[in-house]
A and B are shown apart, each in its own frame.
Chain A
Amino acid sequence: MGDAVRRRIEWLIEKSLLLSAIVGTLIVMLIAVFTFLEGFPFLAKYGITSFITGKVWDPAYGEFGILSMIIGTFYVTIGALIIGVPIAVACAIFLAEMAPQPLARLFRPIIELLAGIPTVVYGFFGLIVIVGFIKSHFDVPGFSILAASIMLAIMILPTVINISEDAIRAVPKQYKEGSLALGATHWQTIRYVILPGARSGLISAIFLGMGRAIGETMAVIMVAGNTALIPTSMLDPVRTLTINIALEMGYAYGDHSSSLFATGIVLFVLIICLNALVTRLKRRVTE
Protein backbone atom coordinates (compact mmCIF):
# COMPACT_ATOMS: atom_id res chain seq x y z
CA MET A 1 0.00 0.00 0.00
CA GLY A 2 1.45 3.33 -1.09
CA ASP A 3 2.19 6.23 1.18
CA ALA A 4 -0.28 8.48 -0.61
CA VAL A 5 -3.11 6.01 -0.09
CA ARG A 6 -2.28 5.64 3.57
CA ARG A 7 -2.24 9.37 4.02
CA ARG A 8 -5.65 9.65 2.41
CA ILE A 9 -7.01 7.01 4.72
CA GLU A 10 -5.51 8.81 7.71
CA TRP A 11 -7.14 12.02 6.52
CA LEU A 12 -10.50 10.32 6.13
CA ILE A 13 -10.32 8.80 9.60
CA GLU A 14 -9.38 12.11 11.16
CA LYS A 15 -12.24 13.88 9.45
CA SER A 16 -14.78 11.19 10.38
CA LEU A 17 -13.70 11.40 14.01
CA LEU A 18 -14.05 15.17 13.84
CA LEU A 19 -17.49 14.74 12.31
CA SER A 20 -18.54 12.41 15.12
CA ALA A 21 -17.37 14.95 17.69
CA ILE A 22 -19.33 17.67 15.89
CA VAL A 23 -22.47 15.50 15.77
CA GLY A 24 -22.24 14.89 19.52
CA THR A 25 -21.84 18.56 20.35
CA LEU A 26 -24.42 19.61 17.82
CA ILE A 27 -27.07 17.38 19.37
CA VAL A 28 -26.59 19.07 22.75
CA MET A 29 -26.86 22.46 21.07
CA LEU A 30 -29.96 21.39 19.15
CA ILE A 31 -31.70 20.17 22.30
CA ALA A 32 -30.87 23.43 24.08
CA VAL A 33 -32.03 25.58 21.16
CA PHE A 34 -35.21 23.54 20.72
CA THR A 35 -36.12 23.72 24.42
CA PHE A 36 -35.48 27.45 24.53
CA LEU A 37 -37.41 28.15 21.31
CA GLU A 38 -40.43 26.23 22.60
CA GLY A 39 -40.38 27.59 26.13
CA PHE A 40 -39.09 31.12 25.83
CA PRO A 41 -42.15 32.76 24.22
CA PHE A 42 -44.20 31.42 27.12
CA LEU A 43 -41.72 32.76 29.69
CA ALA A 44 -41.78 36.16 28.01
CA LYS A 45 -45.58 36.20 28.04
CA TYR A 46 -46.20 34.83 31.52
CA GLY A 47 -43.21 36.48 33.17
CA ILE A 48 -40.12 34.69 34.44
CA THR A 49 -40.63 35.94 38.01
CA SER A 50 -44.25 34.86 38.26
CA PHE A 51 -43.30 31.50 36.70
CA ILE A 52 -40.47 30.80 39.14
CA THR A 53 -42.03 32.29 42.27
CA GLY A 54 -45.67 31.35 41.61
CA LYS A 55 -47.08 28.93 44.18
CA VAL A 56 -50.09 27.67 42.23
CA TRP A 57 -49.86 25.21 39.36
CA ASP A 58 -53.22 24.85 37.67
CA PRO A 59 -52.88 24.85 33.87
CA ALA A 60 -56.65 24.57 33.32
CA TYR A 61 -57.08 27.92 35.07
CA GLY A 62 -54.03 29.58 33.55
CA GLU A 63 -51.91 29.36 36.72
CA PHE A 64 -48.32 28.31 36.03
CA GLY A 65 -46.22 28.63 39.19
CA ILE A 66 -43.37 26.18 39.68
CA LEU A 67 -41.95 27.34 43.03
CA SER A 68 -43.27 24.20 44.73
CA MET A 69 -41.43 22.05 42.19
CA ILE A 70 -38.13 23.91 42.47
CA ILE A 71 -38.29 23.50 46.24
CA GLY A 72 -39.38 19.88 45.82
CA THR A 73 -36.45 19.14 43.52
CA PHE A 74 -34.00 20.55 46.08
CA TYR A 75 -35.52 18.66 49.02
CA VAL A 76 -35.58 15.35 47.19
CA THR A 77 -32.03 15.72 45.87
CA ILE A 78 -30.50 16.88 49.15
CA GLY A 79 -32.36 14.12 50.98
CA ALA A 80 -30.92 11.56 48.58
CA LEU A 81 -27.39 12.92 49.12
CA ILE A 82 -27.72 12.98 52.91
CA ILE A 83 -28.81 9.34 52.92
CA GLY A 84 -26.71 8.04 50.04
CA VAL A 85 -23.32 9.78 50.19
CA PRO A 86 -22.14 8.60 53.66
CA ILE A 87 -23.02 5.02 52.76
CA ALA A 88 -21.35 5.28 49.36
CA VAL A 89 -18.13 6.90 50.62
CA ALA A 90 -17.87 4.43 53.49
CA CYS A 91 -18.37 1.60 51.03
CA ALA A 92 -15.68 3.04 48.75
CA ILE A 93 -13.21 3.31 51.67
CA PHE A 94 -13.93 -0.26 52.60
CA LEU A 95 -13.45 -1.53 49.04
CA ALA A 96 -10.29 0.46 48.40
CA GLU A 97 -8.57 0.21 51.78
CA MET A 98 -9.86 -2.61 53.90
CA ALA A 99 -11.63 -5.33 51.98
CA PRO A 100 -9.59 -8.47 51.31
CA GLN A 101 -9.23 -9.01 47.56
CA PRO A 102 -11.73 -11.91 47.22
CA LEU A 103 -14.40 -9.95 49.07
CA ALA A 104 -13.82 -6.83 46.96
CA ARG A 105 -14.00 -8.98 43.84
CA LEU A 106 -17.39 -10.25 45.00
CA PHE A 107 -18.79 -6.84 46.01
CA ARG A 108 -17.75 -4.81 43.00
CA PRO A 109 -19.84 -6.60 40.31
CA ILE A 110 -22.84 -6.60 42.63
CA ILE A 111 -22.59 -2.83 43.05
CA GLU A 112 -22.16 -2.43 39.31
CA LEU A 113 -25.30 -4.50 38.83
CA LEU A 114 -27.14 -1.84 40.82
CA ALA A 115 -26.38 0.60 37.99
CA GLY A 116 -27.84 -1.76 35.41
CA ILE A 117 -31.29 -2.12 36.94
CA PRO A 118 -33.88 -0.26 34.83
CA THR A 119 -35.28 2.78 36.61
CA VAL A 120 -38.91 1.62 36.44
CA VAL A 121 -37.87 -1.44 38.41
CA TYR A 122 -36.48 0.86 41.10
CA GLY A 123 -39.76 2.76 40.92
CA PHE A 124 -41.79 -0.38 41.42
CA PHE A 125 -39.56 -1.45 44.31
CA GLY A 126 -39.96 2.02 45.83
CA LEU A 127 -43.73 1.96 45.39
CA ILE A 128 -44.23 -1.42 47.01
CA VAL A 129 -41.46 -1.54 49.63
CA ILE A 130 -40.48 2.02 50.58
CA VAL A 131 -43.90 3.66 50.23
CA GLY A 132 -45.44 0.63 51.94
CA PHE A 133 -42.95 0.86 54.82
CA ILE A 134 -43.55 4.58 55.40
CA LYS A 135 -47.31 4.06 55.17
CA SER A 136 -47.28 1.35 57.80
CA HIS A 137 -45.09 3.29 60.26
CA PHE A 138 -46.58 6.77 60.02
CA ASP A 139 -50.15 7.87 59.46
CA VAL A 140 -49.47 9.28 55.98
CA PRO A 141 -50.11 8.18 52.38
CA GLY A 142 -46.44 7.17 52.05
CA PHE A 143 -45.91 8.93 48.73
CA SER A 144 -43.35 11.43 49.99
CA ILE A 145 -40.02 13.26 49.84
CA LEU A 146 -38.63 10.60 52.16
CA ALA A 147 -39.66 7.75 49.85
CA ALA A 148 -38.19 9.51 46.80
CA SER A 149 -34.97 10.36 48.67
CA ILE A 150 -34.41 6.83 49.95
CA MET A 151 -34.97 5.41 46.48
CA LEU A 152 -32.69 7.95 44.82
CA ALA A 153 -30.05 7.32 47.49
CA ILE A 154 -29.99 3.68 46.41
CA MET A 155 -29.90 4.67 42.74
CA ILE A 156 -26.88 6.97 43.11
CA LEU A 157 -24.86 4.41 45.12
CA PRO A 158 -23.05 2.78 42.17
CA THR A 159 -22.01 6.12 40.63
CA VAL A 160 -20.73 7.57 43.90
CA ILE A 161 -19.06 4.35 45.07
CA ASN A 162 -17.20 3.71 41.80
CA ILE A 163 -15.84 7.21 41.38
CA SER A 164 -14.99 7.59 45.10
CA GLU A 165 -13.12 4.30 45.05
CA ASP A 166 -11.10 5.38 42.01
CA ALA A 167 -10.32 8.67 43.72
CA ILE A 168 -9.15 6.93 46.89
CA ARG A 169 -7.00 4.51 44.91
CA ALA A 170 -5.44 7.39 42.99
CA VAL A 171 -3.92 8.86 46.18
CA PRO A 172 -0.14 8.22 45.85
CA LYS A 173 1.08 5.19 47.85
CA GLN A 174 3.91 7.26 49.42
CA TYR A 175 1.37 9.39 51.33
CA LYS A 176 -0.08 6.32 52.98
CA GLU A 177 3.31 4.74 53.64
CA GLY A 178 4.65 7.99 55.07
CA SER A 179 1.69 8.37 57.37
CA LEU A 180 1.92 4.80 58.62
CA ALA A 181 5.69 5.18 59.07
CA LEU A 182 5.05 8.19 61.31
CA GLY A 183 3.05 5.95 63.59
CA ALA A 184 -0.49 6.84 62.54
CA THR A 185 -3.06 4.08 62.71
CA HIS A 186 -4.81 2.87 59.56
CA TRP A 187 -7.96 4.81 60.42
CA GLN A 188 -5.98 7.98 61.17
CA THR A 189 -4.27 7.58 57.82
CA ILE A 190 -7.59 7.24 56.02
CA ARG A 191 -9.15 10.13 57.90
CA TYR A 192 -6.29 12.64 57.75
CA VAL A 193 -4.26 11.64 54.70
CA ILE A 194 -6.18 9.59 52.16
CA LEU A 195 -9.59 11.29 52.26
CA PRO A 196 -8.14 14.84 52.05
CA GLY A 197 -5.92 13.63 49.21
CA ALA A 198 -8.91 12.26 47.35
CA ARG A 199 -11.29 15.16 47.99
CA SER A 200 -11.31 16.49 44.42
CA GLY A 201 -12.44 13.09 43.14
CA LEU A 202 -14.91 12.73 46.02
CA ILE A 203 -16.51 16.05 45.09
CA SER A 204 -16.86 14.87 41.48
CA ALA A 205 -18.46 11.67 42.73
CA ILE A 206 -20.98 13.48 44.90
CA PHE A 207 -21.96 15.91 42.17
CA LEU A 208 -22.33 13.19 39.55
CA GLY A 209 -24.63 11.45 42.00
CA MET A 210 -26.48 14.72 42.47
CA GLY A 211 -26.89 15.07 38.71
CA ARG A 212 -28.38 11.63 38.52
CA ALA A 213 -30.76 12.39 41.40
CA ILE A 214 -31.98 15.65 39.85
CA GLY A 215 -32.52 14.09 36.43
CA GLU A 216 -34.25 10.90 37.52
CA THR A 217 -37.90 10.90 36.47
CA MET A 218 -39.67 7.59 35.91
CA ALA A 219 -38.81 6.05 39.26
CA VAL A 220 -39.58 9.21 41.22
CA ILE A 221 -42.96 9.70 39.55
CA MET A 222 -44.05 6.37 41.05
CA VAL A 223 -43.24 7.20 44.67
CA ALA A 224 -43.43 10.98 45.04
CA GLY A 225 -47.22 11.49 45.01
CA ASN A 226 -46.74 14.35 42.52
CA THR A 227 -48.78 17.05 44.24
CA ALA A 228 -47.84 20.58 43.25
CA LEU A 229 -47.77 21.95 46.79
CA ILE A 230 -44.83 23.33 48.76
CA PRO A 231 -43.94 20.47 51.10
CA THR A 232 -43.73 21.20 54.82
CA SER A 233 -42.31 17.90 56.03
CA MET A 234 -40.27 14.94 54.78
CA LEU A 235 -43.48 12.90 54.76
CA ASP A 236 -45.37 15.23 52.41
CA PRO A 237 -45.91 14.30 48.77
CA VAL A 238 -43.82 16.29 46.33
CA ARG A 239 -43.50 17.11 42.62
CA THR A 240 -40.08 17.70 41.10
CA LEU A 241 -39.34 19.62 37.89
CA THR A 242 -38.72 16.44 35.88
CA ILE A 243 -41.92 14.87 37.19
CA ASN A 244 -43.90 17.91 36.09
CA ILE A 245 -42.68 17.53 32.51
CA ALA A 246 -43.16 13.78 32.25
CA LEU A 247 -46.49 13.76 34.08
CA GLU A 248 -48.31 16.28 31.92
CA MET A 249 -46.57 16.12 28.54
CA GLY A 250 -48.96 13.52 27.16
CA TYR A 251 -52.03 15.74 27.16
CA ALA A 252 -50.66 19.25 27.17
CA TYR A 253 -51.14 21.65 24.29
CA GLY A 254 -50.89 25.39 23.75
CA ASP A 255 -49.66 27.36 26.77
CA HIS A 256 -49.70 24.25 28.94
CA SER A 257 -47.25 22.53 26.60
CA SER A 258 -44.99 25.60 26.35
CA SER A 259 -44.99 25.91 30.13
CA LEU A 260 -43.56 22.39 30.35
CA PHE A 261 -40.75 23.37 27.98
CA ALA A 262 -40.21 26.41 30.20
CA THR A 263 -39.94 23.99 33.13
CA GLY A 264 -37.24 22.26 31.06
CA ILE A 265 -35.39 25.56 30.65
CA VAL A 266 -35.38 26.09 34.43
CA LEU A 267 -34.03 22.57 34.90
CA PHE A 268 -31.39 23.19 32.21
CA VAL A 269 -30.21 26.42 33.85
CA LEU A 270 -30.19 24.75 37.26
CA ILE A 271 -27.93 21.98 36.03
CA ILE A 272 -25.59 24.38 34.20
CA CYS A 273 -25.25 26.37 37.45
CA LEU A 274 -24.49 23.19 39.38
CA ASN A 275 -21.81 22.16 36.87
CA ALA A 276 -20.19 25.58 37.08
CA LEU A 277 -20.24 25.32 40.86
CA VAL A 278 -18.50 21.93 40.80
CA THR A 279 -15.79 23.17 38.46
CA ARG A 280 -15.07 26.14 40.70
CA LEU A 281 -15.17 24.06 43.86
CA LYS A 282 -12.76 21.52 42.42
CA ARG A 283 -10.33 24.20 41.32
CA ARG A 284 -10.48 25.70 44.81
CA VAL A 285 -9.87 22.36 46.46
CA THR A 286 -6.91 21.36 44.30
CA GLU A 287 -5.11 24.69 44.54
Chain B
Amino acid sequence: MIKIGFKSKWMLIMIVSLLAAFVVAGCGGGTPDPGADNQQPGEEPAIKGTLTTAGSTSVQPLSEEFAQAFMAKYPGTNVMVQGGGSSQGVKAANEGIADFGASSRNLKDEEKAYGLTEVVVCLDGIAVVVHPENSFIEDLSIEDVRKVFAGDITNWKDLGGPDSRIMAVTREAGSGTRGAFEEMIMKDAKISDAAIVQPSNGGIHQAVAGDKNAIGYLSMGYLDDKVKTIKIDGVEASVDNIKAGTYKVSRPFIFMYKGEASPLLQAFTDFCLSAEGQAIVAKHYITVN
Protein backbone atom coordinates (compact mmCIF):
# COMPACT_ATOMS: atom_id res chain seq x y z
CA MET B 1 0.00 0.00 0.00
CA ILE B 2 2.74 2.38 0.98
CA LYS B 3 4.43 1.56 -2.30
CA ILE B 4 1.37 2.59 -4.30
CA GLY B 5 1.09 5.79 -2.32
CA PHE B 6 4.71 6.53 -3.04
CA LYS B 7 4.29 5.94 -6.76
CA SER B 8 1.21 8.08 -7.10
CA LYS B 9 2.87 10.85 -5.16
CA TRP B 10 5.63 10.93 -7.74
CA MET B 11 3.13 10.92 -10.53
CA LEU B 12 1.30 13.75 -8.88
CA ILE B 13 4.46 15.77 -8.52
CA MET B 14 5.26 15.15 -12.16
CA ILE B 15 1.83 16.20 -13.35
CA VAL B 16 1.74 19.29 -11.18
CA SER B 17 5.18 20.41 -12.25
CA LEU B 18 4.29 19.82 -15.90
CA LEU B 19 1.20 21.95 -15.53
CA ALA B 20 3.20 24.58 -13.69
CA ALA B 21 5.67 24.63 -16.56
CA PHE B 22 2.82 25.24 -19.01
CA VAL B 23 1.48 28.08 -16.93
CA VAL B 24 4.90 29.70 -16.56
CA ALA B 25 5.60 29.35 -20.29
CA GLY B 26 2.23 30.88 -21.07
CA CYS B 27 2.92 33.93 -18.93
CA GLY B 28 6.44 34.44 -20.27
CA GLY B 29 5.34 37.05 -22.80
CA GLY B 30 4.34 39.49 -20.10
CA THR B 31 7.57 39.69 -18.17
CA PRO B 32 9.50 42.90 -18.71
CA ASP B 33 12.87 42.53 -20.38
CA PRO B 34 15.56 42.51 -17.71
CA GLY B 35 18.23 43.53 -20.24
CA ALA B 36 16.68 46.96 -20.68
CA ASP B 37 17.69 48.31 -17.26
CA ASN B 38 21.13 46.80 -16.95
CA GLN B 39 22.98 49.89 -18.00
CA GLN B 40 26.38 50.31 -16.40
CA PRO B 41 27.46 53.88 -15.75
CA GLY B 42 29.88 55.13 -18.42
CA GLU B 43 31.53 58.44 -19.28
CA GLU B 44 29.37 59.08 -22.38
CA PRO B 45 25.80 60.30 -22.16
CA ALA B 46 24.00 57.03 -21.60
CA ILE B 47 22.94 55.17 -24.75
CA LYS B 48 20.59 52.54 -23.51
CA GLY B 49 17.14 51.15 -23.99
CA THR B 50 15.29 49.11 -26.57
CA LEU B 51 14.95 49.72 -30.30
CA THR B 52 12.46 47.78 -32.40
CA THR B 53 12.51 47.44 -36.16
CA ALA B 54 10.22 45.71 -38.64
CA GLY B 55 10.21 45.37 -42.40
CA SER B 56 11.87 43.72 -45.36
CA THR B 57 13.00 40.16 -44.86
CA SER B 58 15.82 40.80 -47.35
CA VAL B 59 17.22 43.40 -44.95
CA GLN B 60 16.55 41.26 -41.90
CA PRO B 61 19.84 39.27 -41.89
CA LEU B 62 21.82 42.49 -42.24
CA SER B 63 19.78 44.23 -39.52
CA GLU B 64 20.44 41.32 -37.21
CA GLU B 65 24.19 41.57 -37.78
CA PHE B 66 24.04 45.32 -37.16
CA ALA B 67 22.03 44.67 -33.99
CA GLN B 68 24.48 42.06 -32.68
CA ALA B 69 27.48 44.31 -33.20
CA PHE B 70 25.67 47.37 -31.82
CA MET B 71 24.54 45.58 -28.68
CA ALA B 72 28.06 44.27 -28.13
CA LYS B 73 29.46 47.77 -28.40
CA TYR B 74 26.83 49.43 -26.20
CA PRO B 75 25.91 47.12 -23.32
CA GLY B 76 22.46 47.87 -21.98
CA THR B 77 20.94 48.34 -25.41
CA ASN B 78 18.57 45.91 -26.99
CA VAL B 79 17.71 45.93 -30.70
CA MET B 80 14.80 43.70 -31.69
CA VAL B 81 14.59 42.83 -35.38
CA GLN B 82 11.37 41.62 -36.98
CA GLY B 83 10.39 40.83 -40.56
CA GLY B 84 7.09 41.49 -42.30
CA GLY B 85 8.11 42.81 -45.71
CA SER B 86 9.05 46.22 -47.05
CA SER B 87 5.49 47.56 -47.16
CA GLN B 88 5.02 46.52 -43.55
CA GLY B 89 8.26 48.30 -42.66
CA VAL B 90 7.05 51.59 -44.13
CA LYS B 91 3.74 51.22 -42.35
CA ALA B 92 5.39 50.36 -39.05
CA ALA B 93 7.66 53.42 -39.21
CA ASN B 94 4.82 55.73 -40.17
CA GLU B 95 2.42 54.50 -37.51
CA GLY B 96 5.07 54.23 -34.81
CA ILE B 97 4.56 50.46 -34.42
CA ALA B 98 8.35 50.10 -34.61
CA ASP B 99 11.07 52.66 -33.83
CA PHE B 100 12.28 52.36 -37.39
CA GLY B 101 11.25 50.43 -40.50
CA ALA B 102 13.35 48.61 -43.08
CA SER B 103 12.73 48.51 -46.82
CA SER B 104 14.57 46.72 -49.62
CA ARG B 105 13.15 48.93 -52.35
CA ASN B 106 12.71 52.64 -53.02
CA LEU B 107 9.60 54.09 -51.42
CA LYS B 108 6.60 54.52 -53.68
CA ASP B 109 5.23 58.03 -54.22
CA GLU B 110 2.36 57.56 -51.79
CA GLU B 111 4.84 56.28 -49.19
CA LYS B 112 7.12 59.27 -49.76
CA ALA B 113 4.17 61.45 -48.77
CA TYR B 114 4.47 60.21 -45.16
CA GLY B 115 7.59 62.37 -44.82
CA LEU B 116 9.77 59.69 -43.28
CA THR B 117 13.51 60.25 -42.83
CA GLU B 118 15.35 57.69 -44.97
CA VAL B 119 18.83 56.35 -44.28
CA VAL B 120 20.32 54.22 -47.06
CA VAL B 121 22.60 51.72 -45.33
CA CYS B 122 23.70 49.71 -48.36
CA LEU B 123 22.96 48.71 -51.94
CA ASP B 124 22.05 45.29 -53.26
CA GLY B 125 22.04 44.19 -56.89
CA ILE B 126 19.60 41.73 -58.39
CA ALA B 127 21.35 39.49 -60.87
CA VAL B 128 19.69 37.46 -63.63
CA VAL B 129 21.16 33.98 -63.59
CA VAL B 130 21.15 30.86 -65.78
CA HIS B 131 22.69 27.38 -65.54
CA PRO B 132 26.51 27.40 -65.86
CA GLU B 133 26.33 25.11 -68.93
CA ASN B 134 24.18 27.64 -70.72
CA SER B 135 26.87 28.89 -73.11
CA PHE B 136 24.78 30.75 -75.67
CA ILE B 137 23.51 33.55 -73.46
CA GLU B 138 25.95 36.15 -72.19
CA ASP B 139 23.88 39.28 -72.42
CA LEU B 140 20.16 40.09 -72.45
CA SER B 141 18.32 43.35 -72.84
CA ILE B 142 15.91 44.37 -70.10
CA GLU B 143 13.16 43.92 -72.67
CA ASP B 144 14.12 40.29 -73.36
CA VAL B 145 14.29 39.48 -69.66
CA ARG B 146 10.84 41.01 -69.28
CA LYS B 147 9.45 38.94 -72.17
CA VAL B 148 10.91 35.75 -70.74
CA PHE B 149 9.36 36.28 -67.30
CA ALA B 150 6.07 37.49 -68.76
CA GLY B 151 5.85 34.23 -70.73
CA ASP B 152 6.08 35.91 -74.16
CA ILE B 153 9.34 34.12 -74.94
CA THR B 154 9.24 30.45 -73.91
CA ASN B 155 11.97 28.89 -76.03
CA TRP B 156 15.71 29.54 -75.97
CA LYS B 157 15.80 29.53 -79.79
CA ASP B 158 14.08 32.94 -79.75
CA LEU B 159 17.12 34.26 -77.89
CA GLY B 160 19.65 32.66 -80.21
CA GLY B 161 19.99 29.38 -78.35
CA PRO B 162 19.00 25.79 -79.13
CA ASP B 163 15.40 24.67 -79.54
CA SER B 164 14.49 23.97 -75.92
CA ARG B 165 11.93 25.32 -73.50
CA ILE B 166 12.80 28.04 -70.98
CA MET B 167 12.13 27.33 -67.31
CA ALA B 168 11.61 30.69 -65.61
CA VAL B 169 11.94 30.63 -61.83
CA THR B 170 10.48 33.43 -59.73
CA ARG B 171 9.83 34.35 -56.08
CA GLU B 172 6.46 34.20 -54.35
CA ALA B 173 3.98 37.10 -54.24
CA GLY B 174 4.96 39.72 -51.65
CA SER B 175 8.71 39.02 -51.72
CA GLY B 176 10.88 42.16 -51.66
CA THR B 177 13.25 40.73 -54.25
CA ARG B 178 10.30 40.00 -56.52
CA GLY B 179 8.96 43.49 -55.82
CA ALA B 180 12.27 45.10 -56.82
CA PHE B 181 12.54 42.86 -59.89
CA GLU B 182 9.01 43.79 -60.95
CA GLU B 183 9.69 47.46 -60.42
CA MET B 184 12.95 47.55 -62.36
CA ILE B 185 12.49 44.89 -65.06
CA MET B 186 8.84 44.05 -65.48
CA LYS B 187 7.48 47.63 -65.27
CA ASP B 188 3.77 47.14 -66.14
CA ALA B 189 4.05 43.55 -67.37
CA LYS B 190 3.09 40.69 -65.07
CA ILE B 191 5.29 37.72 -64.23
CA SER B 192 3.73 34.68 -65.90
CA ASP B 193 1.61 32.29 -63.82
CA ALA B 194 3.46 29.43 -65.46
CA ALA B 195 6.81 30.37 -63.89
CA ILE B 196 8.06 27.97 -61.20
CA VAL B 197 7.80 29.61 -57.76
CA GLN B 198 10.46 29.20 -55.07
CA PRO B 199 10.07 30.58 -51.55
CA SER B 200 13.61 31.93 -51.08
CA ASN B 201 16.80 33.09 -52.77
CA GLY B 202 18.26 29.71 -51.81
CA GLY B 203 15.38 27.91 -53.55
CA ILE B 204 15.90 29.88 -56.76
CA HIS B 205 19.63 29.19 -56.65
CA GLN B 206 18.98 25.47 -56.21
CA ALA B 207 16.41 25.34 -59.03
CA VAL B 208 18.60 27.26 -61.52
CA ALA B 209 21.73 25.28 -60.65
CA GLY B 210 19.80 22.07 -61.26
CA ASP B 211 18.28 22.75 -64.68
CA LYS B 212 20.07 23.60 -67.93
CA ASN B 213 16.99 25.41 -69.24
CA ALA B 214 16.42 27.58 -66.19
CA ILE B 215 16.56 31.33 -65.73
CA GLY B 216 16.01 33.14 -62.45
CA TYR B 217 16.96 36.21 -60.45
CA LEU B 218 18.93 36.43 -57.21
CA SER B 219 20.10 38.93 -54.65
CA MET B 220 23.83 39.49 -55.29
CA GLY B 221 24.73 37.94 -51.95
CA TYR B 222 23.75 34.55 -53.35
CA LEU B 223 25.92 34.47 -56.49
CA ASP B 224 28.53 31.73 -56.84
CA ASP B 225 29.93 29.48 -59.58
CA LYS B 226 26.95 27.09 -59.52
CA VAL B 227 24.96 29.67 -61.46
CA LYS B 228 26.03 31.90 -64.34
CA THR B 229 25.28 35.60 -64.07
CA ILE B 230 24.34 37.28 -67.32
CA LYS B 231 24.89 40.88 -68.34
CA ILE B 232 21.90 43.18 -68.60
CA ASP B 233 22.05 45.58 -71.56
CA GLY B 234 25.76 44.78 -71.79
CA VAL B 235 26.57 45.67 -68.19
CA GLU B 236 27.89 43.11 -65.75
CA ALA B 237 26.30 42.80 -62.31
CA SER B 238 29.27 43.88 -60.21
CA VAL B 239 29.86 46.02 -57.15
CA ASP B 240 31.67 48.67 -59.20
CA ASN B 241 28.95 48.90 -61.84
CA ILE B 242 26.25 49.25 -59.23
CA LYS B 243 28.21 51.96 -57.41
CA ALA B 244 28.74 53.78 -60.71
CA GLY B 245 25.03 53.47 -61.47
CA THR B 246 25.57 51.69 -64.81
CA TYR B 247 24.05 48.38 -63.66
CA LYS B 248 20.45 49.43 -63.29
CA VAL B 249 18.94 46.43 -61.52
CA SER B 250 19.91 47.44 -58.01
CA ARG B 251 18.02 48.55 -54.97
CA PRO B 252 18.83 50.33 -51.73
CA PHE B 253 18.36 48.87 -48.26
CA ILE B 254 16.71 51.71 -46.35
CA PHE B 255 16.08 52.34 -42.67
CA MET B 256 13.40 54.97 -42.11
CA TYR B 257 11.77 56.68 -39.17
CA LYS B 258 9.21 59.35 -38.46
CA GLY B 259 10.11 62.74 -36.98
CA GLU B 260 13.17 63.35 -34.84
CA ALA B 261 15.50 60.41 -34.12
CA SER B 262 15.97 59.54 -30.44
CA PRO B 263 19.61 59.55 -29.22
CA LEU B 264 19.53 55.77 -29.26
CA LEU B 265 18.22 55.56 -32.84
CA GLN B 266 20.74 58.24 -33.91
CA ALA B 267 23.53 56.18 -32.37
CA PHE B 268 22.29 53.10 -34.20
CA THR B 269 22.08 54.68 -37.66
CA ASP B 270 25.46 56.39 -37.09
CA PHE B 271 26.86 52.98 -36.22
CA CYS B 272 25.44 51.42 -39.40
CA LEU B 273 27.07 54.11 -41.54
CA SER B 274 30.38 54.09 -39.63
CA ALA B 275 33.43 52.22 -40.92
CA GLU B 276 32.58 49.45 -38.46
CA GLY B 277 29.01 49.12 -39.72
CA GLN B 278 30.00 49.29 -43.37
CA ALA B 279 32.53 46.53 -42.77
CA ILE B 280 29.55 44.33 -41.90
CA VAL B 281 27.81 45.47 -45.10
CA ALA B 282 30.85 44.67 -47.22
CA LYS B 283 30.64 40.99 -46.31
CA HIS B 284 27.59 40.48 -48.55
CA TYR B 285 26.44 43.77 -50.06
CA ILE B 286 27.64 47.07 -51.47
CA THR B 287 28.72 49.82 -49.09
CA VAL B 288 27.52 53.40 -49.30
CA ASN B 289 30.07 56.17 -48.94
Chain A interfacial positions (CB closer than 8 Å to B): 1, 6, 9-10, 12-13, 16-17, 19-20, 23, 56, 58-61, 127-128, 131-132, 135, 139, 141-143, 221-222, 225-229, 237, 239, 246-248, 250-253, 256
Q: Which residues of A contact B190 (CB under 8 A)?
A: 58, 61
In the complex with contacts A16-B16, A226-B172, A248-B173, A139-B165 CB distance below 8 A: yes
Closest residue of chain A to B9, judged by CB?
A9
Chain B interfacial positions (CB closer than 8 Å to A): 1-2, 5, 8-9, 11-12, 15-16, 19, 22, 57, 83-85, 87-88, 91, 164-165, 167, 172-176, 190, 193-199, 203, 206-207, 210-211, 213-214
Cα-based distance from A6 to B6 in the complex (angstroms):
10
Interface centre among B8, B19, B57, B174, by most A CB within 10 Å? B174
Cα-based distance from A228 to B175 in the complex (angstroms):
16
Closest residue of chain B to A257, judged by CB?
B174
Q: Which residues of A contact B83 (CB under 8 A)?
A: 250
| Residue pair A247, B8 in contact (C-beta under 8 Å) | no
Q: Which residues of A contact B174 (CB under 8 A)?
A: 59-60, 248, 250-252, 256
| Residue pair A16, B173 in contact (C-beta under 8 Å) | no
Closest residue of chain B to A254, judged by CB?
B87
| Residue pair A9, B206 in contact (C-beta under 8 Å) | no
Chain A at the B interface: mostly helix, strand, loop or mixed? helix
Q: Which residues of B contact A139 (CB under 8 A)?
A: 164-165
Chain B at the A interface: mostly helix, strand, loop or mixed? mixed
In the complex with contacts A12-B12, A20-B15, A226-B172, A135-B5 CB distance below 8 A: no
Cα-based distance from A207 to B88 in the complex (angstroms):
41
| Residue pair B173, A9 in contact (C-beta under 8 Å) | no
Q: Which residues of B contact A60 (CB under 8 A)?
A: 173-174
| Residue pair A248, B196 in contact (C-beta under 8 Å) | no
Checking A1, A58, A143 against B196 with a beta-carbon cut-off of 8 angstroms, the contacting residue is A143
Checking A20, A141, A227, A252 against B211 with a beta-carbon cut-off of 8 angstroms, the contacting residue is A141
Cα-based distance from A176 to B181 in the complex (angstroms):
67
| Residue pair B85, A253 in contact (C-beta under 8 Å) | yes
Cα-based distance from A142 to B206 in the complex (angstroms):
13
Checking B5, B22, B165 against A23 with a beta-carbon cut-off of 8 angstroms, the contacting residue is B22
Cα-based distance from A135 to B12 in the complex (angstroms):
58
Cα-based distance from A239 to B196 in the complex (angstroms):
10
Instruction: Tell me how far the C-beta of B132 lies from the nearest C-beta in chain A, rounded to whole angstroms.
Output: 16
| Residue pair B199, A246 in contact (C-beta under 8 Å) | yes
Checking B19, B57, B165, B193 against A19 with a beta-carbon cut-off of 8 angstroms, the contacting residue is B19
Q: Which residues of A contact B15 (CB under 8 A)?
A: 13, 16-17, 20
Cα-based distance from A228 to B191 in the complex (angstroms):
12
Checking A12, A13, A58 against B173 with a beta-carbon cut-off of 8 angstroms, the contacting residue is A58
* Nearest 9 Cβ contacts at the A-B interface: A251-B174, A226-B197, A251-B85, A16-B15, A141-B167, A225-B196, A1-B5, A247-B172, A59-B173
